[in-house]
Structures are given as structure tokens and as C-alpha cells.
Structure 1
Amino acid sequence: MDYSTLDYLRKHDTTWRLLTASHAPLIVSFLYATFIKPNERSLPFDQVSTQLDDYLFHLRDREGEGAFPKTARQYLDDWANGTSPYLRKYYVQGRDIPQLDLTPGAEKAVEWLQGLQPRQFVGTESRLMTLYRLLQEIVQEAEQDPAVKIAELERQKAELERQITRIRSGLVEAADPTRIKERWFEAEDTARKLLADFRQVEYNFRTLDQEVRELIATSDKRKGELLDEIFEQQDYIRDSEQGRSFNAFWEFLMSPQRQQALENMTTAALQQEALREVDDRQFLPRIGYFLLEAGEKVFRTNAQLAEQLRKYLADQAWMEDKRILQLIRGIEKSAVAMRNSPPETTIFRQVATLDQPRLAIDLVMERSLFEPKTKIALAAVRLEEADESVDVQALYNQHWVDEARLRGNIRRLLHEYSQVSLAEVLQQYPLQQGLAELVAYLNLASKDAKAAVDESVEEVLPLGDAGRTVRLPRILFTR
């Protein structure tokens, strides 16, 4: 906080410039009502312009027509331009209307001015307990002595047991309304600061994206060196304290159980009598949705950086391929030009009279690896006749299906009907030999030129044993 630093901030810092602007009350009040209070991350330019036009109308009616001479669009353009703008003006892919969002510096100015407003009371006890709890967590997590850790856990366990004993005995302390309000206002203040931090994280990623685009456009380095430099910047942001903290926060927030628990706790807290008259009862119950929306913008900004790298690699590959094609076409044009008037050089005549129409180029990598021949070791072993006698009777005891009987079954039904299906045949003459007999029917159908298969309809055919069935396309036999 020396003189040079403060002098530089006074001239270039967005927060300081907004606080000292000639129309600071107009800018801050409008930005608060449009972005901060409803927690809007971005809005279309036309919508913001309409809201500012209405806001200026009411102010001019009270302050006079000459108080604000410019139009709403002119004011928005002024606030979104310059080296330290209050609004970020950008385009979303697929839309031709620009979007507007607060810059981190403008949000800090609004937040600082909010702190100047008098509060109903200052929650010193709640903040002191928060300070005590944070210091206690630091000491406990940094402690490496197991005995000390166990002693602290035993102390906490004894305290919990004393509380349980008191509650079981009927000694339940009534909630202090002042303490409940303190903790509610502290939770609300922490949540708003958390949303403001998202804009700063998004701004850091967007700055990295802009630096990468400038680096790609102006760098003469080789592709590998340029990518190394870009990835080093990405790793620096991801591995920084801010990056690790954001990733841990996002993993915590993406848990459905924790989202539901957060919603349940805010709903239960608002049921307390001490919070019945709280002014803003909608912000904390929707904090989970607000945080997810803000985190999505951060990840979308990071995805744009990855997309920029992908486009750069694709463009580089296309340019290299284009250069190769240009060289090949140049060689082809030179060859066509030399065909009718070849140069009178010895080397050209030797090449032109070669038997091969092109040079035989043998690359080393085209050669296959050496494969040693496999030697088969043959042993001269005398084969002796076996003494075992084989019972071949089992080969003759297989199922034999009389196909003549099956043909007779089909013919008898065709005497009565012009066509019958295999299911109707089996309904009239059930299978006696199970699957073997069914296969015989299928064999007859394949040999019969008048048989047909309707694959659009399936039939369930009983196999006749243990209630088993088989599903087949409909097979039709005709006269």
C-alpha cells in the first residue's frame, strides 16, 4: 500500500474509477438493481438498454431533464468500453445480440458501498465463533502427533456425550433469536461473496483465453513449443491455490446429496420464528441454483480455451497439408513442362531412359521383421495296437425319426386344407421324439418346393417334454 501502487490503482483500477465517477450513484444503483440484487450473470444488451431507459426516465422526472443528457445505449456503450470497463460486452455463439455482464471490479465497488450502509446490528459473537472454529480447524489439521489428535477427539466426544445426557434429561436450551439472526446474516453475506468470487475466477480464465489467442496470432514458434507454453499457463491456473480451491468447491457442489441437504437446511432455517421478518427470504433457498449457474459459466469459459487450442491444431495441420500439396503440384507442373522439351543434361537423359516409370524407393520400415523358422521335433516312436475293446452299440442306439410318418401327417392335413402351418401340424400330431422330430420337420420343409417361410410372424412350438418350447418363424406347407 505504498504511494506508487495507490496512484496506479487510482488511474487504472476499475473499482476505484467507478467510485470516483461523476455519475457513480447512477451507475452503482442501476448495476445493483439489474445484476446484483436479482443475481443475473448476463443479460441481452437490448433488455438492459430498456431497463436503463425506464430508470433514466424516473430519474429525469425527479432530478430534471438535464441531469442525464445521454441515451441509455450511449451510457451502456461508455460503461462497456475503455481500458477498465464496468460491464463486459460480448457475443454468444449463435446470437447476433450482444450480452452484458458485470466485471469483477464493478462488483467489488458495489459490494464495498453495500458495506457502508448501516446494519440492524453487527454480529460480533457469530464472527468470533467463526474465527475460533477456523483457527481450531487449522491447528487440528496441521497437528501430526497422533496422541494429541486422539486427545482432542476424546474431548469432543466427551462434550457430545454431556450434551446428549442433558437432552435426555429434558434440559433443552431454547434457541437464542439474536444468535440465529447473526448466523443467518453471516451465511447470506458469505454466499454473496462466494458468487462474487465466481466472476473473478471467470475473469481469470477469460484473461488466459485472450492471452492464448494473442499468443497464437503473433507467435512464430514451432507448434510444439507454442503448445508447451500454453499448457504451462493452463497448469499454472489449475494448480494455483485459487484453481485447487475452485475444483474442490465444484466437486462438493456437484454432489446431489449435498445439494439436497443444502436446500433442506435453508428451508428448515426459514421456519424459525426469529427469521420470520427477514427481508430477503428468497436468496439463500436458491443459492444452490445460483452457484451452479455461476460455475457453469466458468466451465464454459474454460471450454472455449480448449476449443481455441483444437482449432489451432486443426488449422496448423491443414496448412501443413496444403503446403505439401502445393509442392507436389509444382513438381507435376514442372514434369509436364519438361515432357516436350527435356533439358539437355546427362543426368536427365539417364533418368529418362530408365526402364521403370518411377524410382524404386525401398524404405527401411517397409521391411518385415525377421521370423526364425519353426523346427518341428519328430520322435520315432513305435505305435502299438491297443488292447481295449470298444463298445460300438451306443452308436446304433441314437434317435431315429421316421420321415415317412411325418410326411403322412402333413399329407393328411393337406387333404382337408389348402395350406397348414407347422404349428397346426404339431397341434394335431404332437412331437413324440422332441427336438429331433422337430428338426426332421424342418428338413422336410427345406426339401419341399411348395413349403414357405413367413418371417414376419413367429410361432411358439411345443417340444413335448417338460413344457419346453421353441420360437420359430411360421412355416407353411401347401398342396
Structure 2
Amino acid sequence: MEFAAIDALRERHPAWRMLRATHAPLLLSFLGRFFVEEGRGASPEGTLVDALDDELYLLNSEEPDTPRFLRPAADYLADWASTDAGYLRRFYPLGTDEIHYDATPALEKAYAWVQSLQVRQFVGTESRLQTAIELLRQIAQGTEVDPEVRLQELGRRKQEIEREIAQIQQDPGAGLLDITAVRDRYQQFASTARDLLSDFREVEDNFRALDRSARERIATWEGNKGELLEELVTGRSRIDSSDQGRSFQAFYDLLLSSSSQDELSVLLDRLTSIEDLGADRRIRTVHHGWAEAAERTQMTVRQISEQLRRFTDDQIWLENRRVLDLVREIEATALTLRGGPPPDVGLELEQTGVDVALPTERPLHSVRPAAEVDSLLPPARQEEVDTSVLAQQVIVDPARLAARLRSLVPERGTALLEDVIAMYPVEHGAAELVGYLALDSEDIEVTADETEQTVISYDEAGRPMRARMPRVEVRRR
């Protein structure tokens, strides 16, 4: 980094200002333990004031003759959440009138840096090397377009698994990790778990910044409502299709999976049951902390959508009021002109002809035939109706179809739709084919060649079906 960039960070970044603050040890120790170590989210002011009061009492009791912290706890919190500081976020949640405080990404970064200064008795390296190698393998395997190479890699992994199975059958103790290797992997897992919570707070802050910018655009917009809505909806779509948005959504779907939650619970129980490891008991419920942090991030995204809905409702109300004003203005003008139009209003036209209507041009009277009306209807007979059709609704997820295309088609590559369906057979009939044609994403382009046709076979409700359609090509940008 350049000198100017570092100097700007020193003066403006809240994390750097926090390290230079007068009461930096107090705010880092208390806020770091309350929000980071205990994994708490936004908390009411009363809870935070009580906890800080206890902390100040303990610190002042160590030196009763010369207490260091004389101000009330609420004053410290207000200073830390001020605009000049930016160490805490101070806000009113929806539906409550009590002030809440939440940690900022700057607090997470400053506390993590201070923690990194401590001397560690054990520094694991072997597990991190294996993790780095495994990530490289996943990248290489996930970007290899040659199926033969991918099959060779899968065959190699299959041989390793079979060899490991044979070793365990011969020696049940083969492949067990010693306590040093377990401690190495536990240290890496604990660090990754804390980093995930910190990353969630930063992602939430990024989404909140987008929400603020959307509110500013709405408050200062003077043009057409449709143009603003298009801009805001496009911005929301851009977030969902960005790398950060897709990664977050994939993590959220995986975390909320019942199988993933059950597996995490079993694995964390096994981890905390190793007595020689001395694992932190809070690790046992770390996946609940991930879920809460992810839900807070999703709540921020939902607030952006709610802001769009409020804007639409407010604009409709204003437009309806404008229509009523125009109607009242027309009524007032009509009442003014009721006694006779003013002399300068109206047009004079010369009559160019006279309409002549002869009596014999009128039609003679014709008698209508009498109509018979039978109001007695035969009783309706009971019919057997199959109500199971109501539960057989088909919902096609466009995000799932797009994920299939991204997994098969490399960047700047192309593929035919029938080849994609050969790898992923149609599950929801013609609706799924239409879903492929309707995909609209920044990195996926679906085009149809009307000059050529293809026939796609699939099963729908247990019956073989065939769809004749133009040749469709999928291209990754």
C-alpha cells in the first residue's frame, strides 16, 4: 500500500481510531468479550449498560483510591456509538422504542488484531497445509473440462478410500489422529468459526450501506417512479447475482439444510467429548451463532425490499391525492361556468347543411315473438372430483437451473440445452423447459435458433413425453 492510503486509513478508519482511543483497553476488552467472544447480536441498551456497570465496578475496585472510570456506563456507550467514533451501531429496531447497540466490522477487526498479538503456545501448520492442498484440488477438479481427467481423479480418490478401508479392516487403529494432530485441526476450526461470524457482520454492514443508499435515492428522487423502481430492483438483482451474494446464499441454504444441521450437531458433540483437547464449550453451539448471524443478514436484505414496497405505496397515495385535486378543480370550473359561458370562450362554426329526416324512413312496429322461460333446473348430480391435483403443484426454481448451468458450462463456454438435460434429466416436465428458456442472469445467456429444431424426451407424471422446440444454446459470459 502507498503512504497516502495508509495515512488516510490512520485518520479515518474506525478500527485504527479505536486502537488510538483513550479507553481502548476498556472498550476492546468489554465489547470484544460481549459481542465477539459470546457471539451476541444487537442488544438492548439496558442489558449493555448493566454489563458495563459491573465491568466498571470491578476495574475501579482494583484501585479504590484513584478510580480510573468515573463516568456512567451509558455515557461511555453513547461516546463509542457517536458519529466521530463509529465503534458501535446505535439504532431503534422495528416495533420497539428501546435503543439497541450492535458491534461494527471495525470492532471485529480491531479485536482480532489485538488477539493476534498474543503469544500462542501451539501453532498448527500441518492441517492448514492439507486444507490449502485440498482447496487447490477442488479448484483444479471444478474447472477441468476434460471428463477423462476428472474420471481419472475420481478413480485415484476411490483407490485411496479402498486402501484406507483395507488398512482399517486389518488394523482397527490405523489412521487415528494423535492429540497433536487433533489440537492442530481444532485450532484451525475455532479460528474459521470466529472468522465466519466476523464475515457475517461485514456482509450485513455492506447490505445496510446499500439500504441507506436506496433510501437516499428515494428521498431525493424527483423523476419518473418507474425509472427509480427499475434502478432499485436492478441493484437488488445485482447483489443476488454478485460473487458475495451467491456465496452467502449457498452458505445459507447449506446451513438451513436439516441434514447439515444434524451432521454439525453430531460432529460438534464428538469434538467437545474429547477430554484431552480441552475444547471451548461455546464451540458446541457455534452453528446456532452462524444461523443467527445469517438471519440478521437476511433481515437487512428484507428491509431493502420493504423499503421498495413503502415507496410504491407512498407514491400511489400521492398520485391518488393529485387525481382528487384535479377532480375538485374541474368541479369548481364547471360551477363557475354553469350560469353561461363567458363571451371569450367557445368557437363559432358556419352551418354547411341541413339534416333532413323523412317520416317514411322510420321502421314500422314489429311484434316480438313470445319467449318461454323455464326457471326450474334439473337437480345437479354428484360427481367424483380428484382433489389430489391441488397438491400436485409444480414449482421450478430458476436459481437451481442457473446453478446447474454454471456447474456444467465453464466461463466463456457454450453448451446445447439437450446436452444439459442429458446430464440433469427433466424432473418437472414442460415447466422446467420453459424455466431454462426464461433464465435472465448477468453471466448466463440463453438463445434459440429458429432455423433448427430438436426433440427433447422426458417423463411427466410417469408418461414419456416429447417436446419439439428450436435448438437452444446456453452461453456463459
Asked whether the two chains share a fold, i.e. TM above 0.5, the reply is yes
Which residue identity lines up with residue 159 of structure 1 in the other structure? E
Deviations along 1:279-319, whole A, 9 cap, x unmatched?
A: x12x2221221111111111111111111110101111111
Measured in 2, the distance between the counterparts of 1:75 and 1:171 equals 59
Measured in 2, the distance between the counterparts of 1:246 and 1:232 equals 19
Three-state SS of the structure 2 residue aligned to 1:340 is coil
Measured in 2, the distance between the counterparts of 1:140 and 1:274 equals 37
Q: CA offset at residue 224 of structure 1? A: 1.5
Q: After alignment, is 106-115 or 164-173 more displaced?
A: 164-173
Confirm or deny that 1:241 pairs with 2:243: yes
Partner in structure 2 of residue 456 of structure 1:
none
Which residue identity lines up with residue 53 of structure 1 in the other structure? D
Measured in 2, the distance between the counterparts of 1:180 and 1:21 equals 39
Q: CA offset at residue 339 of structure 1? A: 2.1
Measured in 2, the distance between the counterparts of 1:346 and 1:232 equals 50
Three-state SS of the structure 1 residue aligned to 2:346 is helix
Contact 2:197 2:290 in 1 (8 A): yes
Confirm or deny that 1:60 pairs with 2:52: no
Contact 1:86 1:106 in 2 (8 A): yes
Measured in 1, the distance between the counterparts of 2:72 and 2:273 equals 46
Sequence identity (%): 41
Partner in structure 2 of residue 133 of structure 1:
134
Q: How does 1:13-32 map to 2 (within 5 A)?
A: 13-32=13-32
Three-state SS of the structure 1 residue aligned to 2:223 is coil
Partner in structure 2 of residue 44 of structure 1:
44
Moved over 3 A (4+): 63-66
Measured in 2, the distance between the counterparts of 1:67 and 1:233 equals 49
Which residue identity lines up with residue 227 of structure 1 in the other structure? L
Which residue identity lines up with residue 46 of structure 1 in the other structure? G
Structure 2 unaligned segments of length 5 or more: list them: 350-477
Which residue identity lines up with residue 253 of structure 1 in the other structure? L
Partner in structure 2 of residue 76 of structure 1:
77
Deviations along 1:197-252, whole A, 9 cap, x unmatched?
A: 11111111111111111111112221111112212322232222111110110011
Measured in 2, the distance between the counterparts of 1:43 and 1:160 equals 48
Measured in 2, the distance between the counterparts of 1:155 and 1:112 equals 42
Partner in structure 2 of residue 333 of structure 1:
332
Which residue identity lines up with residue 9 of structure 1 in the other structure? L
Q: CA offset at residue 81 of structure 1? A: 0.8
TM-score (norm 2): 0.70
Partner in structure 2 of residue 162 of structure 1:
163
Work out which of the two has the higher radius of gyration on C-alpha atoms and give 1 or 2.
1
Confirm or deny that 1:268 pairs with 2:261: no
TM-score (norm 1): 0.70
Q: CA offset at residue 130 of structure 1? A: 1.0
Measured in 2, the distance between the counterparts of 1:81 and 1:171 equals 61
Measured in 2, the distance between the counterparts of 1:171 and 1:21 equals 58
Q: How does 1:24-423 map to 2 (within 5 A)?
A: 24-63=24-63, 65-170=66-171, 172-173=173-174, 174-275=176-277, 277-278=278-279, 280-281=280-281, 283-340=282-339, 342-345=341-344, 347=346
Q: After alignment, is 166-175 or 286-295 more displaced?
A: 166-175
Q: CA offset at residue 193 of structure 1? A: 0.4
Partner in structure 2 of residue 462 of structure 1:
none
Q: CA offset at residue 36 of structure 1? A: 1.4
Contact 1:18 1:109 in 2 (8 A): yes
Q: CA offset at residue 271 of structure 1? A: 2.4
CA RMSD of the aligned region, Å? 1.8
Contact 1:181 1:274 in 2 (8 A): no
Contact 2:44 2:99 in 1 (8 A): yes
Contact 1:12 1:84 in 2 (8 A): no
Structure-2 change in CA distance of 1:135 and 1:84 (3 Å): farther
Which residue identity lines up with residue 28 of structure 1 in the other structure? L
Measured in 2, the distance between the counterparts of 1:3 and 1:329 equals 66
Q: CA offset at residue 171 of structure 1? A: 5.1
Contact 2:61 2:67 in 1 (8 A): no
Measured in 2, the distance between the counterparts of 1:349 and 1:335 equals 21
Partner in structure 2 of residue 444 of structure 1:
none
Q: CA offset at residue 195 of structure 1? A: 0.8
Structure-2 change in CA distance of 1:31 and 1:348 (3 Å): same
Three-state SS of the structure 1 residue aligned to 2:145 is coil
Which residue identity lines up with residue 44 of structure 2 in the other structure? P
Which residue identity lines up with residue 327 of structure 1 in the other structure? L
Measured in 1, the distance between the counterparts of 2:138 and 2:71 equals 54
Q: CA offset at residue 159 of structure 1? A: 1.3
Partner in structure 2 of residue 356 of structure 1:
none
Partner in structure 1 of residue 3 of structure 2:
3
Alignment: residue pair count: 347
Measured in 2, the distance between the counterparts of 1:23 and 1:179 equals 40
Structure-2 change in CA distance of 1:346 and 1:29 (3 Å): closer
Which residue identity lines up with residue 42 of structure 1 in the other structure? A
Three-state SS of the structure 2 residue aligned to 1:89 is strand
Which residue identity lines up with residue 178 of structure 2 in the other structure? D
Which residue identity lines up with residue 62 of structure 2 in the other structure? R
Which residue identity lines up with residue 337 of structure 1 in the other structure? T
